[in-house]
Chains A and B, each alone.
Chain A
Amino acid sequence: MLRLVTRRLLLSVLTLFIVSLLVFAGVELLPGDLATAFLGREATPTRVASLRAELGLDRPATERYLNWLGNVVQGDLGMSLARRKPIGDLIGLRMRNTLLLGLTAGLIGLPLALVLGIVAGLTRDRRPDLWISTISLIFMTLPQFVTATFLILLFAITWPIFPAVTIVPPDSPITDFLPNIALPVATLVFVMVAHNLRMVRTNVIDVMTSEYVQMATLKGVPRARVVLRHALPNALLPTINLVALYIAWLVSGVVIIEQVFNYPGIGTLMIQAVHDRDIPLVQAIILVFAGAYVVLNMGADLLVTILDPRLRSMRG
């Protein structure tokens, strides 16, 4: 058990290391460098040269990478090119806002996805399943900004219940965000529930058609007991891992949804950074998102290890 956990931790650190390498090497391999990209049309040979010197671009790439990585490990994400401020200061509060959005959506969305997925799985190909599956397919295929704009149209304009965009500055207290997060959270929940309930449904169907569940039914075990005791524990375990996989996708969904609602989170900051060609800021935010994803994924894996007796007894 302990070995399993240690191994998982090491794997997470390795994944983060590879991501940092990809994020750094990705920019190195593309034509041009930080200085020419940032200055764009305003690039004159002298300005490019002075910015290069300032950023230390004359040093070899490996040295710069190790330097950057060393600073990141110590919590120093570097300086933003466009804003001339330490990236840590820019990200801090916005990260809190994004977490508020993601956690609220997760707390509402995951139980909802479980319940709807189980209902759909148990009523396979009958009316409740057909309704749930069709509606989830629509929310899965529509782009998130279309879903978001649609919700604004309904609940901010036709029936003005919630604000359409957030006009609260990033550093205001959490309570100020409360009416504002309603629609972004709703969008995230719709999309997340649509994806996750389909996985729960597939797993429930797989288990319900398995031989040991049919055996239990044939033996005369009451249906409620078959479902709750025999089927669900096995059907839900694999979904924990799958849900973690979808978090990667959710993370990119947050970027677009924040932009739609002008929500002062880390996603809107990233889009502004891309517009400004502020590569160090873009790289830092990608690393932060990757870190969040790796931690969540690891948490899900460990949870499965703890919950699944078959894994608990396994050695390494």
Chain B
Amino acid sequence: MSATVTTLDKPRPAERSRFKETWRNLRRSPSGMIGLTILVTHLVIAVISPLIVPYEPTDIDASILLQSPSWEHPFGTDSFGRDGLSRVLMGGRIALVITLTAGVLAITWGGLLGIVLGFLGGVVDEVVMRVVDAMLSFPSLFIYLLVISALGSSDVILILVLSITNGISIIRIARAATLGFVARDFIAAARARGERTATVVLRELLPNVFDVLLVEYAMRWSWMLLSFSSLSFLGFGVTPPTPDWGLMIAENRRRLAIAPWGSIFPMLALGTLVIGINLAADALAKAMGLDRSQEAPI
């Protein structure tokens, strides 16, 4: 039995060395390391910010309204006298938690469904892909707005809507990646052994398309951050007075002429985070030998 196996596809190198190789490639990319550094800094700040903020981000102080940056308040204060630095440090937490959660949900259901469809093929695959194509021809912002106008907005609703719309795009990616493997010998061997569909999908196909899904997760994450902060900016995301970058930019935008720091610092925070994710994801795709698809973030 072992003799026949060696004549089939080349066995994949062991997990550990593959991880090491990706990391070695990644370290050679300057833009990737810049992106990763920005990303890790943001994540660390998001985790420890409640411990390091100089003031309570929701504390109102009528004696220090709209103060320009100073030693006491390096990022100035807003029209309620709240400390800008504290609000910026805390302002990414909800966005990160919601988008990371929605991302995990989306990649799980979209990824698994995509692999199953690619593996099974047939009429079901045909029908589901037609529906997927119809949904993709439709800007997801409109789906968000339609659902919010019917149900209102809450964290749970946003997580669900983000994971559903993004999962639909992932089906396509996972299915396409799977199609590259279903005709290979090791899948034929698994079928010949009489493995159940679930086993083939989870043990044989999932490990092979995992790279593609990981890169897709990173890209989706940055697009979800864009969607979430846009919704937040439009007033459908986080409820005031909770600090959130999108909401802060919207709130302080009216005083852009007299207190521009209120918008500039959250803009810098949000901008560096999405650029950091994109740089890191691009470099990760290259390090894994994948060509990141130039897809529209709709």
Contacts and interface: CB of A to CB of B under 8 A. Distances in A.
Nearest to A287: B142
Contact of B235 (A275, A279, A293): A275
B274 A142 contact: yes
B260 A153 contact: yes
Interface residues of B, number: 44
B275 A157 contact: no
Contacts, number: 133
A47 to B, nearest CB: 18
Interface string B230-255: 10011110000000001001100100
Contact of B267 (A149, A273, A283): A149
B159 to A, nearest CB: 16
Interface stretch (A99-107, A168-176, A214-222, A250-258): A250-258
B48 interface: no
Given A144-B230, A256-B233, A275-B235, A248 B146 contact: no
Contacts of B246: 143, 145
B294 A202 contact: yes
Given A27-B146, A146-B249, A153-B264, A252 B135 contact: no
Nearest to B268: A146
B152 to A, nearest CB: 8
Contacts of A15: 134, 137
B267 A150 contact: yes
A195 B294 CA distance: 9
A18 B134 contact: yes
A252 B296 contact: no
Interface centre among A23, A142, A289 (most CB of B within 10 A): A142
Contacts of B297: 249
Interface string B151-162: 110000000000
A39 interface: no
Most buried by A among B140, B149, B267: B149
Interface centre among B256, B270, B278, B296 (most CB of A within 10 A): B296
B104 interface: no
B139 interface: yes
Given A249-B296, A252-B142, A256-B230, A282 B149 contact: yes
A101 B88 CA distance: 33
A248 B138 contact: yes
7 contacts: A31-B151, A141-B222, A141-B275, A153-B263, A157-B256, A259-B234, A277-B149
Interface of B: 134-135, 137-143, 145-152, 222, 226, 229-230, 233-236, 246, 249-250, 253, 256-257, 260, 263-264, 267, 270-271, 274-275, 278, 294, 296-298
Q: Which 3 A-B residue pairs are closest in the complex by CB-CB distance?
A: A252-B139, A252-B141, A249-B298
